[in-house]
Amino acid sequence: MNDTQRRYDIVVWGATGVAGRLVAEYLTDRYSPAELSLALGGRSRERLDTVESELVGQSDDWSELPAVIADATEPETLRAMTRQTRVICTTVGPYTTYGTPLVEACLDTETDYCDLTGEVNWIRESIDRFHERAVERDTRIVHSCGFDSVPADIGTLLVQSFATEEFDAPCETVRIYLESSSGGVSGGTLASFGELFAAVSNDPVARRTLENPYSLAPPGERTGIDPGAQSRPRRDALRSSWTSPSPMAPVNERIVRRSNALLEYPWGREFRCTERIPTGRGLGGGVRATAIAGGLRLFTAAMSVDSIRDGLRRFAFPDPGSGPSDAQLANGHFTVRLLGRGLSTDGPFTVEAEFGADRDPGYGATARMLGEAGICLLRGEIDSPLAGGVLTPASGIGLPLAERLRSIGFTATVGRSTA
Ligand SMILES: NC(=O)c1ccc[n+]([C@@H]2O[C@H](COP(=O)([O-])OP(=O)(O)OC[C@H]3O[C@@H](n4cnc5c(N)ncnc54)[C@H](OP(=O)(O)O)[C@@H]3O)[C@@H](O)[C@H]2O)c1
């Protein structure tokens, strides 16, 4: 389809939800109507009108934000939406429940797409069903453009690009440390966790996807030497610190491995990556690592039992549509540190990158990551040999996303490490 026939640059689909509203708010705050033709997408005109009047009310530039009505259960409405826009940023989740028809509509209409999914089972389904078609149609379907998995994936790309340029060799290992973070969680995110655990309980493919560290690699390439996510507290020699497992490791590590595979292994077939939470030195560090690892094991065990999971969803988790408090949004922050180890002709070297923002990671910062991923797709600010496919942030957009995030105040630095 000719791009000039499309009325909008970006539609934020899910604009009535917690994350989608923040994405729309960010884009209207950062860009003017002269720079960006933006529309709000959702299933309810009334709720979209409410969001429109709130956003227009707080903006000097925007006097209107058109509404596009599209329901995940009505594929024709999705095609009508994707036909009208150059890029879709979608926050309609759980993606396991609502995501597939939109990817199909984007492929039918050759519309570039980015989302916030961390549901590994669904990413695997999307790869297996749609990658080849997305390649044929030169359409970018870029998953996981939020806190899952931009800091890990683009951070690893920063490390590896620096290593290759400075030392003429990639790092054999990259460790991703979730060093600090403060923020909240929404009902929509917990509902998505619920869908992931339900899929793993009931679907053998979803179970195998979480067991195999290479499950998001292309078919035929789903084996390798990397043992995958850490499951117990461990001392980490690179940081001289105790570390615990990270709850985001199952998605972030697989996304990074997929990036390496899609880019045709510039970091080598024996490349290893792990994501961890550093908890400090000595006895205190060990105790904290044990407590986090134990908490995660307990949460996983509870969510794996159908009746407990249903009970938590009904009586303990906030409802979809409710999000973090204003104070959590205002005071949030995160820092992800990455250390890469490699071997050049001059001997071993270490590269260090830092990725962070003074925003709560899952919402304020995530809204900016997804919004800027959409802008990169729209403007063709892409450094990747791949013109289409079911992609990751690093393989679908690449370093221009780091540049854009830096320009709006994120930390995205890389250099030689003294560690
Ligand atoms: N990767 C990350 O770092 C990250 C961070 C934050 C969120 N997320 C993910 O983003 C997703 C959204 O989270 P959230 O907190 O924004 O959830 P939410 O507040 O529940 O919002 C969900 C959105 O989906 C819409 N929706 C539901 N059913 C629909 C249908 N049949 N057709 C069209 N739209 C429909 C809702 O519309 P109505 O208002 O009409 O109900 C709402 O706009 C979740 O999957 C979450 O896990 C990821």
- Mean pLDDT of the region 80-109: 98
Check pLDDT > 70 for residue 1.
Answer: no
pLDDT band at 418 (very low <50, low <70, confident <90, very high): confident
Quote the pLDDT of residue 314: 87
Per-residue pLDDT at 376: 98
Q: How far is CA 299 from the centre of its chain?
A: 22
Of ligand 1's listed atoms, the one at least distance from the Cα of 20 is: 16
User: Which atom of ligand 1 is nearest the CA belonging to 94?
Assistant: 45
What's the mean pLDDT in 281-287?
A: 95
Ligand 1 pocket, Cβ-based, cut-off 6 angstroms? 14, 16-20, 42-44, 47, 71-73, 91-95, 98, 116, 118, 146-148, 186-189, 192, 320-321, 323, 362, 366
- Does residue 365 register a pLDDT over 60? yes
- With bands split at pLDDT 50, 70 and 90, how would you rate the model's confidence at 2? low
The pLDDT of residue 331 is 87
Residue 184: per-residue pLDDT? 85
For atom 35 of ligand 1, the residue with the nearest CA is 92
In this prediction, residue 5 has a pLDDT band, given cuts at 50, 70 and 90, of confident
Pocket test for ligand 1, best of 44, 91, 255 (most atoms within 8 A of CB): 91
pLDDT at 133 over 60: yes
User: What mean pLDDT comes out for the span 193-208?
Assistant: 90
Q: Domain spanning 3-146+365-405 has what CATH number?
A: 3.40.50.720
pLDDT digits (tens, 9 = 90+) for 310-338: 999 888 888 888 888 888 888 899 999 99
Q: Is the pLDDT of residue 405 over 90?
A: yes
CB 204 within 8 A of CB 355: no
Q: What is the 3-state secondary structure (H, E, C) of the chain?
A: CCHHHCCEEEEEECCCCHHHHHHHHHHHHHCCCCCCCEEEEECCHHHHHHHHHHHHHCCCCCCCCCEEECCCCCHHHHHHHHHCEEEEEECCCCHHHHCHHHHHHHHHHCCEEEECCCCHHHHHHHHHHHHHHHHHCCCEEECCCECCEHHHHHHHHHHHHHHHHHHCCCEEEEEEEEEEEECCCCHHHHHHHHHHHHHHHHCHHHHHHHHCCCCCCCCCCCCCCCCCCCCCCEEECCCCEEEEECCCHHHHHHHHHHHHHHCCCCCCCCCEEEEEEEEECHHHHHHHHHHHHHHHHHHHHHHCCHHHHHHHHHHHCCCCCCCCCHHHHHHCEEEEEEEEEEEECCEEEEEEEEEEECCCHHHHHHHHHHHHHHHHHHHCCCCCCCCCEEECHHHHCCHHHHHHHHHCCCEEEEEECCC
- pLDDT digits 0-9 by tens, 298-313: 999 999 999 999 999 8
Does 409 score more than 90 pLDDT? yes
Taking only the tens place, the pLDDT of each residue in 30-83 is: 999 999 999 999 999 999 999 999 999 999 999 999 999 999 999 999 999 999
pLDDT at residue 400 tops 70: yes
Residue ID of nearest Cα to ligand 1 atom 17: 188
Going by CA atoms, what residue is nearest to atom 39 of ligand 1?
A: 16
Contact 15, 44 (CB under 8 A): no
pTM of the predicted structure, to 2 decimals: 0.97
Band the pLDDT of 207: cuts 50, 70, 90.
very high
Q: Is the pLDDT assigned to residue 225 strictly greater than 60? A: yes
pLDDT at 325: 87
Q: What is the spatial distance between Cα 370 and Cα 336, in angstroms, rounded to a whole number?
A: 18
